[in-house]
Structure 1
Amino acid sequence: MNAILSNPFKAGLLQGEAQIGLWLSSTSSYMAEIAATSGYDWLLIDGEHAPNTIQDLYHQLQAIAPYASQPVIRPVEGNRSLIKQVLDIGARTLLIPMVDTAEQARDIVSATRYPPLGTRGVGAGVARAARWGRVENYMAQANDELCL
């Protein structure tokens, strides 16, 4: 299997397309799936103000995956370990809250990119995002398709 990653949300932004979305503040994958069938371009899964765990985010990403709506994950904060987990479970678009300085922004960008472009840890063989090692040239594709 040689999957190709793409990020339609990022592609739409780059083309200047208007995109309509919905903010999800629930921990329910059932609600995420209902929203995914409603015709929105993107669905933001809020982890900052909603009590979403990594497992909750994972299940919501699974629920949204079969549909055209693109998930945007807003983790509780921009720490390196949490960013790595969120990306490994399959997020391709992140909205990091409370970025107050240029140094924080640089650190967050670095945490989202694989070397040599950044410092993201390499665990693609065991990550949903890489289809458990089945995406050829995954790290380069992930670097290219990430939207932050």
Structure 2
Amino acid sequence: MPAPRNSFKQALQEKRTQIGFWQALANPYTVEISADAGYDWLLLDAEHAPNDIPLLVSQLQAMKGSPSHPVIRPPIGETWIIKQLLD
């Protein structure tokens, strides 16, 4: 069975404009509302917002089933934190 098509990655490859929204409130409720508002992507900010791994997971869960794609901004560019975020 082929892997599901990632419309976000495909749009980026095709250089199509994507409309997104920056989430800095660190709140799964606002993420859920924004995810269903029609944005192509939502950026979950872990650098300047009070996000940690468990809170990011709850925000990702709030996006499940929505048309928006998550983008996470790590707090620092260290390998160990990026590996945790990828897990």
TM exceeding 0.5: yes
Q: Aligned partners of 1:14, 1:81: CA distance in 2, in Å? A: 28
Q: Aligned partners of 1:75, 1:56: CA distance in 2, in Å? A: 13
**TM-score in terms of structure 1 length:** 0.55
Structure possessing the higher radius of gyration over alpha carbons: 1
Q: Does 1:45 align with 2:53?
A: no
Deviation of 1:3 after TM superposition, in Å, equals: 8.4
- What amino acid is the match of 2:72? I
Give the alignment's Cα RMSD to 1 decimal.
1.6
Deviation of 1:8 after TM superposition, in Å, equals: 2.4
Give the aligned length. Answer: 87
Q: Which runs of 5+ in 2 are unaligned?
A: none
C-alpha offsets along residues 96-118 of structure 1, whole Å, 9 cap, x if unaligned? Answer: xxxxxxxxxxxxxxxxxxxxxxx
Please show how residues 91-110 of structure 1 align to structure 2 within 5 Å: none
**Which protein has greater RCO, CA pairs closer than 8 Å, 6+ apart?**
2
**Which residue matches 2:86?**
87
Q: Which runs of 5+ in 1 are unaligned?
A: 89-148
Query: Whose strand fraction is larger, Structure 1's or Structure 2's?
Result: 2
**TM-score in terms of structure 2 length:** 0.91
Q: Does 1:30 align with 2:29?
A: yes
